[in-house]
Amino acid sequence: MTAPGGRVTGGAYAIEARTADMRATAAHCEDIAGRTRTIATAAIGEDLALAAVPGSVLAPHTLVSVTGRIAGFELRGQACAASTAALAQALDMAAGAYERADSAVQDAPGRILHLLGLVTGAGLVLGAPARAFSPVAAAWTAVGAAAAWPWRPGTPAGRAAGRAAGGWATAGEILEHFVPGVVRGLTILGPGIPGTPFAVERPRDGAELAELLLLLARARGLMEKSGLEVHEVPASHTDPVDPPAGLTELFRRTAQQNKSREGTGAPNPRQENGEVRVEEILHPDGTRSWIVHVPGTTEWDPGRHDAPTDLTSNAEAVAGHETQAMRLVREAMERAGIAPGEEVLMTGHSQGGRTALGLLEDEEFLVRFNVTAVVTAGSPVATIEVPPEVEVLSIQHADDPVPFLDGGQNPGRAHWTTVTVEAPAGAPPRTGGEAHRSSAYEESIRALEDLGEGTAAGASVGEFLRRHRQFFSGRGGRAREFYGRRRYPPQHENGQEQGGSREHEDGGRFRQAARARPTVGG
């Protein structure tokens, strides 16, 4: 649903939520029909019992009148039951029709863009100088390029096409469907990659492309697997920290976890080592709630370095592996003292949101920690399977390409609300990098909170805050921060690793990693 403040999908605006109401009503109608049948059937028994009364033979006219009325009641009751049951069936069928129609509407534009990308990618392969210089190949390349050009992200034509399509084809959503199509077109006509798990079967999706990236990088000594050491920042917050007053303050604290501590005297030796912040909230009844702030990407060097919040963790997360960033968050939560059953809100920007939701694919993590809510901003999380008992609020910018890098669209489910915020009206065009900055998201979140209940976007944010007010009220407890350092195996002089480490293994706990596809380890 498009409204001031942004387009809202999922949550109260999800087709799933509306059809769930229809199906609940259908079930209620079916229950009423069953009860009505029972009452009408019981009336027949009363009719027979009346005929057996000894005095009934002395008043035959009265007997006939009464039994006729009972029979009429029974017939009308059965008819009412049948009508109510038919209504229940119609509601159920209508819910199914709504779901099928919504799926068709959502899928159709994406399929068109994917096909355009496929044509473009295949055209580039056929037209490459290494392949051929034939007029046919050149023409095919021209067709692909011509098809792609008006749809490229951020162009006036692309935005105009989006408005013509009811606001669907934003720059990010074009990237979401068109670019995977191009990649598929580039690989569909070429051979597999000899000497790799993709020698026969080519990459089919973003996860397998990430697998291939890891494989090729590690063959060149980049994006290496490593162990992890976790350290606490000693007593960086000695006084109690009040709960955040709202979503803006919550996100501001999250964004701070990516900032440099240089010059503060804190023992985190490198500004690239993002820190996990765990905040304790104390309630009058003696219970506790927790907020876990997960840092985003702080290191883009694919070589050896300290930071686990890096490009390697990004690629491993998209490929479906547990990452060192996830291990850092898990250990920070353990060491902070979160007890089983205590409610936890996790929040993250960019990779931080991906890390937070990625942990929900770990069955052991779900058993150990009671995560009830997650807030993400600018995070590529569409392909993650989130348990229905966890409510997710995802905020993304329409001109930020990062949330669409996993080639998917966030599912419009009752427990997952996505607010897509358009670029500010009248503002000069901004790059994808500018749209992805945490400062830009902080401004958008503040604007969403200021909208109030009169808009879909504002109402969605307000409803999320009400449902999870335990994280925004109470008395502040300790706030503890943790950072991680990668630890690599020693190397021989030829650069090969000595030995191995169990720190590198996934342990097979991730549902996403169970998908049938080639793997290179994580």
Residue at token pair 């506790």: 288
Q: Name the residue with higher pLDDT: 176 or 167.
A: 176
| pLDDT attached to residue 429 | 84
- Res 41: pLDDT: 75
Residue 498: DSSP 8-state: P
pLDDT tens readout for residues 452-483: 777 888 888 999 999 999 999 999 999 999 99
Residue 46: C-alpha distances to residues 147, 209, 287, 290, 500 (Å): 76, 73, 57, 62, 82
What is the C-alpha to C-alpha distance for residues 353 and 207, in angstroms, rounded to an integer? 17
Which of 93-102, 287-296, 442-451 has the weakest average pLDDT? 93-102
pLDDT-derived band at 38, boundaries 50, 70, 90? confident
Based on its alpha-carbon atoms, the radius of gyration of the chain, rounded to whole angstroms, reads 30
Please report the DSSP string for 78-132 in residue order. Answer: HHHHHHHHHHHHHHHHHHHHHHHHHHHHHHHHHHHHHHHHHHHHHHHHHH-TTT-
Closest by alpha carbon to 294, among 377, 366, 367? 377
Amino acid (1-letter code) at residue 390: V
Q: Give dist(CA 6, CA 456) in Å, integer.
A: 8
Amino acid letter, 278 = V
Residue with tokens 């492309």: 209
What is the model's pLDDT at position 203? Answer: 58
Q: Is 267 or 44 the better-scoring residue by pLDDT? A: 44
Give the number of C-alpha atoms closer than 13 A to the C-alpha of residue 18, restricted to the C-beta side.
13
Task: Report which of 258, 213, 276 is spatially closest to residue 378, judged by C-alpha positions.
Answer: 258
Least confident of 250-259, 356-365, 378-387, 441-450: 250-259
pLDDT at 295: 93
pLDDT digit string (tens) for 242-263?
A: 999 999 999 999 998 876 444 3
Is the confidence at residue 378, as pLDDT, over 50? yes
Best CA proximity match to 291, nearest among 203, 374, 232: 374
Mean pLDDT value of segment 488-505: 54
Q: Which residues contact 210 (CB under 8 A, 6 or more apart)?
A: 315, 316, 318, 319
Q: Which residues contact 48 (CB under 8 A, 6 or more apart)?
A: none
Specify the amino acid at residue 95.
Answer: A
Rounded to whole angstroms, the Cα distance separating 188 from 458 reads 44
Q: How far apart are CA 481 and CA 286, in angstroms?
A: 24
- For residue 147, pLDDT over 60 is answered with no
Whole-model pTM? 0.67
pLDDT at 499: 45
Q: Identify the band that residue 106 occupies on the pLDDT scale cut at 50, 70 and 90.
A: low
Query: Rounded to an integer, what distance in angstroms lies between the CA atom of residue 96 and that of residue 52?
Result: 50
Which pairs with CB-CB distance under 8 Å and at least 24 residues apart come from 73-79?
A: 73/40, 73/43, 74/40, 74/41, 74/43, 74/44, 74/47, 75/40, 76/40, 77/36, 77/37, 77/39, 77/40, 77/43, 78/36, 78/37, 78/40
Distance (Å, whole) CA 345 – CA 144:
46
Do the beta carbons of residue 190 and residue 184 sit within 8 Å?
no
Report the candidate in 17, 12, 20 with the shortest Cα–Cα distance to residue 464: 12
Quick one: CA torsion of 236, 240, 243, 245, rounded to 10 degrees? -90
Question: Which backbone phi and psi does 369 adopt, to 5 degrees?
Answer: -120, 140
